[in-house]
């Protein structure tokens, strides 16, 4: 008989990691704009929800049980990814840097996933060693994930950062235009990103 038990916390989070890795691989092979956009929407939704269940449920449970530095870095890595997710959400496959943003996001996630899954010393291993109740955490995360999947099925909210304080960034001269030298009198006017 099939095992219908909810996966424990680590199995659930690892399954999310594998799913997103697969989607990034599909993106590498994709050629059409529509397919790329569809994959990116899926990647952004998966990553947003995954980060939310970790930040709302798993990471707080790890507080005081795993190394503080590792946990702090995990929050900062999530926030870094959210900036790229917001960029991708606000652009399309025909825009400059789109593929590069997907690639850099995949590399950031690859690093982050390694830090979580590293055998013996990663966040998951430390949490397991500390005796966290992985079954109970898995159930809570599965329930929250189902709720968020439903909530975000049409669109994602703007990412909420936990470690970044939220900056207005100045957008400089686009790369293509910056390549042609400007005369000293030509003013370069930065735009404000909100």
- Helix intervals (H) in 130-179: 134-151, 175-179
- Residue 137 · residue 8 · CB < 8 Å: yes
**Interface residues for Fe ion in 107-136 (CB under 5 A)?**
116
Q: Mask 61-100, x = binds Fe ion (CB under 5 A)?
A: ----------------------------------------
Pick from 12, 23, 30, 54 the residue near Fe ion by CB under 5 A: 54
Which stretch, 31-39, 52-60, 156-164, 168-176, contacts Fe ion (CB under 5 A)? 52-60
Q: How far is the CB of 15 from Fe ion (least distance, A)?
A: 10
Which is closer to Fe ion, CB of 42 or CB of 91? 42
Beta bridge partners of 112: none
Q: How far is the CB of 162 from Fe ion (least distance, A)?
A: 11
Which stretch, 5-13, 30-38, 143-151, 170-178, contacts Fe ion (CB under 5 A)? 5-13
Which is closer to Fe ion, CB of 13 or CB of 40? 13
Residue 158 has phi, psi (to 5 degrees) of -60, 140
Q: If binding is defined by CB under 5 A, does position 55 make contact with Fe ion? A: no
Which stretch, 11-19, 83-91, 94-102, 142-150, contacts Fe ion (CB under 5 A)? 11-19
Cα(112)–Cα(74) distance, rounded to whole angstroms?
7
Q: Mask 143-182, x = binds Fe ion (CB under 5 A)?
A: ----------------------------------------
**Taking the chain, what is the end-to-end CA distance rounded to the nearest angstrom?**
53
Q: Looking at beta carbons, which residue is closest to Fe ion? A: 54
- The secondary structure of residue 94, as a DSSP letter, is T
Burial state string for 84-113 with b = 16 or more CB within 10 A and e = fewer than 16: bbbbbbeeebeeeebeebbeebbebbeebb
Q: What are the E-state strand segments in 53-175?
A: 170-171
Nearest to 82 by CA among 116, 57, 54, 115: 54
Which is closer to Fe ion, CB of 30 or CB of 62? 62
- Rule CB under 5 A: which residues touch Fe ion? 13, 54, 116
């Amino acid at each position: 008989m099939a095992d219908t038990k909810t996966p424990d916390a680590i199995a659930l989070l690892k399954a999310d990691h594998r799913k997103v890795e697969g989607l990034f691989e599909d993106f590498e092979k994709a050629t059409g704009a529509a397919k790329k956009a569809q994959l990116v929407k899926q990647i952004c939704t998966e990553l947003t929800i995954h980060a939310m269940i970790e930040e709302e449920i798993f990471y707080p449970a790890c507080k005081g049980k795993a190394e503080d530095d590792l946990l702090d870095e995990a929050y900062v890595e999530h926030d870094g990814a959210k900036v790229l997710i917001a960029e991708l959400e606000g652009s399309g496959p025909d825009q400059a840097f789109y593929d590069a943003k997907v690639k850099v996001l995949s590399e950031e996630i690859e690093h982050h996933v390694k830090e979580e899954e590293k055998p013996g010393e990663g966040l998951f291993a430390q949490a397991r060693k500390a005796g966290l109740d992985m079954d109970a955490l898995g159930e809570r995360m599965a329930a929250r994930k189902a709720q968020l999947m439903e909530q975000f099925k049409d669109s994602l909210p703007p990412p909420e950062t936990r470690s970044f304080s939220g900056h207005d960034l100045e957008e400089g001269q686009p790369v293509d235009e910056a390549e042609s030298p400007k005369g000293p009198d030509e003013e370069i006017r930065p735009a404000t990103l909100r």
